[in-house]
Amino acid sequence: MSEPILELDGLSKVYPGGLKALDDVNLTIRKGEIFALLGPNGAGKTTLIGAVCGLVRPTSGTIRAFGHDLATDWRKARARIGLVPQELSTDMFEPVQRAVAYSRGLFGLAPDPVRIEEILRSLSLWDKKDERIMALSGGMKRRVLIAKALAHEPDLLFLDEPTAGVDVELRKGMWAIIDQMRAKGVTVILTTHYIEEAEEMADRVGIIRKGQLIMVDEKEAMMARLGRTEAHISLASPLTELPPALGQYPVELEEGGASLCYRGGDGTGRGKAEVADITKALIASGIDYTGIDVRESSLEDIFVSLLGEEDEQAA
Ligand SMILES: Nc1ncnc2c1ncn2[C@@H]1O[C@H](COP(=O)(O)OP(=O)(O)OP(=O)(O)O)[C@@H](O)[C@H]1O
Ligand SMILES: [Mg+2]
């Protein structure tokens, strides 16, 4: 395992007024990983990012980045951290290229027009380089924020809702950029409401709710552990009761006996195998079917069911 790049230990944030936006968050991020932070509105994602980026002062707990304690050694870590903020708050009157080049300078790096051109081209912003930022569309403005964050070649990059309000094509372009960063060994922490995005990009996923990190796991492991298979088998003629041969499987009759529904498996492929066994058992019992619809659950299903369970516990 590679070295830890970011370590949050008992991190809490209580805003003036008493709202607890982060509640004892413990998290270690390793070099080169792509980590997706998922959670509903107000869960604390932006607060967490703000705490690491020096925009939010933690109430308690420690943050270590690149081995430096941010409370005492902020400067050493700062130059290596990049942030694409959720809110658009950039110098609207500046032309694109100058704003991006300026961001690089802010971090004390020598000007590098070739690198800036490369970044602008990779974000399809090169033909807009002389436009004022205010004259760009919302999605283009967001890409300018990304260009600014990339301009100082950070080792740890935070993307807070990088593709909110960005169309599907650009979102794919964004994913390609994250892939390039991965190849360069950059560590990326992103928040997103598009769970598809986490599923596509992330190595690990953390789920945050009401300031608490309720689950952190490898994406594959999370899907394997919490994933389910659901299959609907349409029967040629309705059944009044389940055939005895299916007694061992998690199946039910639905639609007045016209279809057989399987809900089971564990995301490891066992569900699909059981569905195949069920179809064989049906044939062996002389029961004909006309179609099968099999669906593996997604990260989204897992996310929704986890948040739902939490709500039930809270109620
Ligand atoms: N400056 C602030 N002062 C007081 N409360 C705040 C402040 N910033 C955020 N909060 C509150 O802290 C909680 C967490 O907010 P945060 O912005 O971190 O959520 P989020 O997970 O990023 O949500 P979203 O998905 O909507 O971006 C919310 O209840 C929010 O209202
Ligand atoms: Mg936010």
Report the amino acid identity of residue 235: L
Report pLDDT for 129: 93
- From ligand 1's centre to the CA of 301, what distance in Å? 24
Name residues contacting ligand 1 (CB within 6 A): 15, 17, 19, 21, 39, 41-47, 86
Q: How far apart are CA 310 and CA 22, in angstroms?
A: 17
Count other Cβ atoms within 10 Å, centred on residue 110.
Answer: 6
Q: Whose CA is nearest to atom 5 of ligand 1?
A: 15
CB 207 within 8 A of CB 240: no
Beta strand spans in the chain (E):
4-14, 20-30, 34-38, 60-65, 68-69, 81-84, 156-160, 187-191, 204-209, 212-218, 229-235, 251-254, 259-264, 289-296
Pocket test for ligand 1, best of 11, 14, 15 (most atoms within 8 A of CB): 15
User: What is the reported pTM?
Assistant: 0.82
CA 121 – ligand 2 centroid, Å: 28
Going by alpha carbons, the residue nearest to atom 18 of ligand 1 is: 44
Query: Along the 315 residues of the chain, how does pLDDT read in single tens digits?
Result: 688 999 999 999 999 999 999 999 999 999 999 999 999 899 999 999 999 988 899 999 999 999 999 988 888 788 888 888 887 666 777 888 888 887 777 766 788 899 899 889 988 899 999 999 888 888 888 888 888 888 888 899 999 988 777 777 778 877 888 888 889 899 999 998 788 888 888 999 999 999 999 999 998 888 877 778 889 999 999 999 999 999 899 999 999 999 999 988 876 778 889 999 999 999 999 999 999 999 888 788 888 877 776 555 554
| 15 CA closest ligand 1 atom index | 4
Q: How far apart are the first and last CA of the chain?
A: 40
Q: What is the pLDDT of residue 169?
A: 77
Question: What are 158's strand-pairing partners?
Answer: 83, 189
pLDDT at 96: 84
For residue 41, the ligand closest to its alpha carbon is 1
**Domains of the chain, earliest start first:** 4-224 (3.40.50.300), 228-296 (3.30.70)
